[in-house]
Structure 1
Amino acid sequence: MMDFILLETARFLDVRPKTKALAERSGMVWRGGAPMHWMTDWASPIPIYAARAEGAKLWDVDGFEYDDFCLGDTPSMFGHARTEIARAIAEQAQNGMGFMLPSETAVEVGELLTERFGLTKWQVATTASDANRAVIRWARAITHRPKILIFDGCYHGVVDDAFVVLEDGTPVMKKGLIGQVADFTHTTTVIPFNDLDALEDALKYCDIACVLCEPVMTNCGMIAPDDGFHEALRRLTRKYGTLLAIDETHTLSSGYGGYTRTHGLEPDMFVVGKAIAGGVPAAVWGVTDEVSARMDQALSIIGAGSSGIGTTLSGNALAMSAMKVMLTEVMTEAAFAHMTKGAENLVSQLQAVIAEQGLNWSVIHVGARVELVFGGNSPQNAAQMRDAMNPLELKAFHLYLINQGLLIAPFHNMMLISPLTSSEAVARLVAAISEFGRIIRPN
């Protein structure tokens, strides 16, 4: 496998002189070589420097064209350089981008959010991480409980409370939580996804303010809920007086109203990030009328404006304009229908490749999101998914795809279908995956 990686590394570097020159310059001014460390987490030996993107395609500075199935790891899942978004933000920029005051557009966006997702009261954040922090703090404030519960392997942004994982069944702080002196294992309970016995055992002490969860796990590879899991999760949280907060930062791709609306879930608190403003930094979080009333009660004790939640950039006019056009013109039912159909087409072709070559692989699929797992059975929790992930095999696979002009999410084998993804692009992706299978398959 190492020989294959070295060969693909040389193939990448030999034909990208501008990329190499930019990487050398970047290393002189950006710590780690890029403005954000995730930009260096791809399988390529140095970052791909994007020149432009349009629809579901991206071009680098050396002129190479890529079919983009990563789409910014979700923010651009409805396509790059959408003319609707460009028009809206250009018009708003001419009238001011941030006032720390609401606008008529903000009122319209709130109404659209309620219509789309069902929750009745909303707030805006700049990132989903900020939104999740707000949800956690409000849940603790109104329940007077100190703990939250998350699922092992979850993704809730850079929220310190969520950086707790299971190692051999024991809760520990993630190694990536550099510089944090607090021990969150005392206030964050972590259990395996799909484990209802562990869930009830944790909730029964009535000290957990909220369960914060993705409806489908998406960060340690994609892990689908077992049949009946969400119904039991809602029943148990209500039984023990725990709030249910659903984070749809990634699973918004599941359908017109996210996984929650598509599958009839009933959260108390709800977060949407990344894609809601088409790439403009913004997120929203909503609550039910009941939760909103309890928040008002908490504020009556401390005084309005004293919660310390939110930033002056939150709810800025530029983000509001982008959200309005996303909710009215871009995130349409027709767009989701195209995305879902394209994902189903990708899944069927991948399954055909797996069967034809006798590969010990499997495919997980929810809405427009598809995950290829290098293991025969779809994992039910993060521990099983980690066992299925071979870092060298993943690196080889991703680097091979890059050299074939194909981008998927760099952290695992997640592929997104946008409304602008063509069937030809899907066919190219499947052909490359098929060829990789032949290369690495034992004789």
Structure 2
Amino acid sequence: MTRTYSLKKLAALAQREAETFIQHHPQSAHLAEQAKHYLYGGVPMHWMADWSTPYPLFVQEANGAYFKDVDGHRYADFCLGDTGCMFGHSPEPVAKVIAQHAAHGYTTMLPSEDAIVVGRHLSERFGLPYWQVATTATDANRWALRWARAVTGRKIILVFDGCYHGTVDETMVRLQHGKTVHRKGLKGQALDLTQYMRVVEFNDLPALTLALQTNDVAAVLCEPAMTNIGMVLPDGGFHTELRRLTQAHGTLLIIDETHTISTGYGGYTKSFGLEPDLFVLGKPIAGGLPCSVFGVSSEVAQKMQQLKSTNNLAEHDGHGHSGMGTTLSANMFTMRAMRANLEQVMTKAAYDDMIPKAEYLAQGLKNVITKHDLPWCITQIGARVEFQFSPKAPRTGHEAELAFDDELEQCIHLYLLNRGIMITPFHNMMLACPATQTTDIDKLIRTLDTFIQELY
């Protein structure tokens, strides 16, 4: 990343925007002070304090593509829960079934008829025949890795540098000088993760080939495109070769679509004909409620069953102590919401509406970058758009990280927020949902243009 602006000017602009936020958000300030007495860091989850604001912004309500804070300000939301509400806040079909079934039980540890319908929808949409339901994508990834190790009899897992798979322990690793190391900032890690993990750069097929050639990797856990270190798209032919290599070395391929579900109906997997052994999806699957799923191929399911049926009495599974499953997983209340979401919200029509809006946003941002001759680039995956501080799209997580400019990013986010626009807090990602209006997209583009004029 090469700075082409004055740091002094950026600091002054950031200070002005912080003062503006404080002036217009007295109720959030009041609640932030109260919260410090009861919540660590003044928030119910510590990363909620990591936004660009001087203190946390407290939300009153959210609906569609908008939310309102406790001071009465309304925002066009292009973050949408960082994909958690990718189709909008409180989608009407999901809200309706929640209201209808709120008095009819939540958790019974037993299946409902909705589970069968959900399973059929998942199979038809994503192409894998058998499914399990978890509470978060972190859970689903964790259990997918357990099954992969169990059915292959191998311990090593391979991920790509800068990957995002929730907070699964194994994925808290990076590549540094060619070696697998613990992720910087990792807290409370007792075991040496590098013992059973390998990390290679995304799009680096020679490194991938080398890492798999020892035939001891249980699974490659992979986002179809990297998303949380800044978007990194796969090279042409990368996924074809990834699939060929994993099959050649007896390694399972796990595709995590938790973010790339923005690609289109059926996600990146269906859009580009990927053939994973296991498939993971979280966040938006139940309309914003905590829920995730993972699917397995017929071959993997058969091995799972063989693994269970061949245990002798001394090795019997016992009462579900497989290291997988939580009491609230697949609860019937969430299953009903997921069914409504799959049938009426995550539809082809929704994608047909969202993706052209994202294309309009991407083009508008490109025009601003060209207008100001900035060394920035735009990346898009379906309804997901991101601008990065590099002249060309990065090919690896390392390249994406080199493009980081935390001070500039934070100032842009606060500038937009003070003008009624929210994008994701940790990088420059934006989503368009069915409720997103063209006028809001125009405002976002116009506001970023104004910011650039002020800074440059």
| Fold match by TM threshold 0.5 | yes
Task: Determine if contact 2:13/2:455 at 8 Å carries over to the other structure.
Answer: no
Deviation at 1:185, TM superposition (A): 0.9
- Determine the structure 1 residue equivalent to 2:90: 81
Q: SS where residue 177 of structure 1 aligns?
A: coil
Task: Determine if contact 1:359/1:437 at 8 Å carries over to the other structure.
Answer: no
Quick one: distance in 2 between partners of 1:366 and 1:285?
22
- Determine the structure 2 residue equivalent to 1:146: 155
2:439 to 414, 424, 434: 424
1:321 to 336, 343, 348: 336
1:380 to 395, 403, 409: 395
2:77 to 61, 65, 68: 68
- Determine the structure 2 residue equivalent to 1:288: 297
**Gap runs ≥5 in structure 1:** none
Query: Where does 1:31-50 land on structure 2 (aligned, <5 Å)?
Result: 31-50=40-59
Q: Does 1:176 align with 2:185?
A: yes
CA deviation profile, 1:337-364 (whole Å, cap 9, x unmatched): 1111001101111111111111111100
- Determine the structure 2 residue equivalent to 1:58: 67
The one-letter code of the counterpart of 2:370 is A
Deviation at 1:38, TM superposition (A): 1.9
Quick one: distance in 2 between partners of 1:206 and 1:233?
14
Deviation at 1:286, TM superposition (A): 0.3
Task: Determine if contact 2:28/2:58 at 8 Å carries over to the other structure.
Answer: yes
Deviation at 1:375, TM superposition (A): 1.3
Task: Determine if contact 2:66/2:74 at 8 Å carries over to the other structure.
Answer: yes
Q: SS where residue 180 of structure 2 aligns?
A: strand
Quick one: distance in 2 between partners of 1:146 and 1:105?
35
Task: Determine if contact 2:79/2:423 at 8 Å carries over to the other structure.
Answer: yes
Q: Does 1:412 align with 2:427?
A: yes
- Determine the structure 2 residue equivalent to 1:96: 105
- Determine the structure 2 residue equivalent to 1:369: 384
Q: Does 1:393 align with 2:408?
A: yes
Deviation at 1:407, TM superposition (A): 0.6
The one-letter code of the counterpart of 1:381 is T
CA deviation profile, 1:142-192 (whole Å, cap 9, x unmatched): 101110000011100010000001233332101332111111111110111
2:125 to 116, 121, 142: 116
Equivalences, count: 441
- Determine the structure 1 residue equivalent to 2:14: 5
Deviation at 1:256, TM superposition (A): 0.5
The one-letter code of the counterpart of 2:208 is L
Quick one: distance in 1 between partners of 2:365 and 2:321?
53
Q: Does 1:402 align with 2:411?
A: no
Task: Determine if contact 2:90/2:288 at 8 Å carries over to the other structure.
Answer: no
- Determine the structure 2 residue equivalent to 1:194: 203
Quick one: distance in 2 between partners of 1:83 and 1:398?
29
- Determine the structure 2 residue equivalent to 1:247: 256
- Determine the structure 2 residue equivalent to 1:261: 270
- Determine the structure 2 residue equivalent to 1:165: 174
- Determine the structure 1 residue equivalent to 2:5: none
Deviation at 1:402, TM superposition (A): 0.9
Quick one: distance in 2 between partners of 1:169 and 1:347?
35
Task: Determine if contact 2:129/2:298 at 8 Å carries over to the other structure.
Answer: yes
Task: Determine if contact 1:92/1:317 at 8 Å carries over to the other structure.
Answer: no
Quick one: distance in 1 between partners of 2:103 and 2:96?
11
Cα-Cα RMSD: 1.0
Q: Provide the identity percentage.
A: 49
**If the length of structure 1 is used for normalisation, what is the TM-score?**
0.98
- Determine the structure 1 residue equivalent to 2:366: 351
**Gap runs ≥5 in structure 2:** 1-9
Task: Determine if contact 1:160/1:177 at 8 Å carries over to the other structure.
Answer: no
Quick one: distance in 2 between partners of 1:175 and 1:385?
16
1:132 to 102, 126, 141: 141
1:277 to 278, 286, 293: 286
Deviation at 1:440, TM superposition (A): 2.3
The one-letter code of the counterpart of 2:414 is L
Q: SS where residue 162 of structure 2 aligns?
A: coil
Deviation at 1:251, TM superposition (A): 0.8
Runs (4 or more) in structure 1 with deviation over 4 Å come to none
The one-letter code of the counterpart of 1:72 is G
Deviation at 1:105, TM superposition (A): 0.8
